[in-house]
Homo-oligomer: A and B are copies of this chain.
Amino acid sequence: MNLKIALLPGDGIGPEVLAQAVKCLQAVEETFNHTFAYKEAPVGAIAIDKKGTPLPESTLKLCHEADAILFGAIGDPKYDNDPDAKVRPEQGLLQLRKELGLFANIRPVLSHPTLLNKSPLKKEIISGTDFVIYRELTGGIYFGEKKLNEAGTVASDLCEYSEEEISRVAHLAFKAAKGRKKKLTLVDKANVLESSRLWRKVVTRIGESYPEVALDYLFVDNAAMQIILNPTQFDVILTENMFGDILSDEGSVISGSIGLLASASVGDENALFEPIHGSYPQAKGKDIANPIASILSAAMLLEHFGLHEEAMAVKKAVDKSLKKGMVTPDLKSKSQYGTNQVGDFIAHNI
Q: With an 8 A cutoff between CB atoms, is A220 at the interface?
A: yes
Q: With an 8 A cutoff between CB atoms, is A347 at the interface?
A: no
Closest partner residue, chain B, to A245 (CB atom)? B221
Q: Determine whether the beta carbon of A220 is less than 8 Å from that of B198.
A: no
Partner of A120, one of B121, B144, B147, B154: B121
Q: Determine whether the beta carbon of B161 is less than 8 Å from that of A158.
A: no
Q: Assembly of this chain: how many copies?
A: 2
Given known contacts A125-B120, A193-B141, A249 and B225 CB-to-CB distance under 8 angstroms: yes
Partner of A158, one of B148, B152, B159, B228: B159
Q: Determine whether the beta carbon of A154 is less than 8 Å from that of B148.
A: no
Q: Determine whether the beta carbon of B197 is less than 8 Å from that of A83.
A: yes
- Which residues in window 139-162 of A have CB below 8 A to B? 141-142, 144, 146-148, 152-162
Closest partner residue, chain B, to A254 (CB atom)? B228
Question: Shortest distance in angstroms between A146's beta carbon and chain B's nearest beta carbon?
Answer: 4
Question: Shortest distance in angstroms between A84's beta carbon and chain B's nearest beta carbon?
Answer: 8
Question: Shortest distance in angstroms between A201's beta carbon and chain B's nearest beta carbon?
Answer: 5
Q: With an 8 A cutoff between CB atoms, is A217 at the interface?
A: yes
List residues of chain B with CB within 8 A of the CB of A229. Answer: 120, 253
List residues of chain B with CB within 8 A of the CB of A195. Answer: 155-157
Q: Determine whether the beta carbon of A157 is less than 8 Å from that of B249.
A: no
Q: With an 8 A cutoff between CB atoms, is A62 at the interface?
A: no
Closest partner residue, chain B, to A161 (CB atom)? B155
Binds B, one of A11-19, A184-192, A263-271, A298-306: A184-192
- Taken together as a complex, chains A and B put the C-alpha atoms of A242 and B249 apart, in Å, by 17
Question: Shortest distance in angstroms between A127's beta carbon and chain B's nearest beta carbon?
Answer: 12
Given known contacts A120-B122, A153-B163, A155-B160, A190 and B80 CB-to-CB distance under 8 angstroms: yes
List residues of chain B with CB within 8 A of the CB of A83. Answer: 190, 197-198, 200-201, 204
List residues of chain B with CB within 8 A of the CB of A307. Answer: none
Q: With an 8 A cutoff between CB atoms, is A81 at the interface?
A: yes
> Which positions in A face B, CB cutoff 8 Å?
75, 79-81, 83-84, 88, 90, 94, 120-122, 125, 141-142, 144, 146-148, 152-164, 189-195, 197-198, 200-201, 204, 217, 220-222, 224-225, 228-230, 242-243, 245-250, 252-253, 258
Please name 8 pairs of A and B residues whose Cβ atoms are closer than 8 Å in the assembled complex, sorted by A.
A83-B204, A120-B125, A153-B198, A154-B162, A189-B245, A221-B245, A221-B249, A225-B249
| Shortest beta-carbon contacts, A-B, top 6 | A155-B198, A156-B160, A146-B194, A221-B249, A224-B250, A83-B197
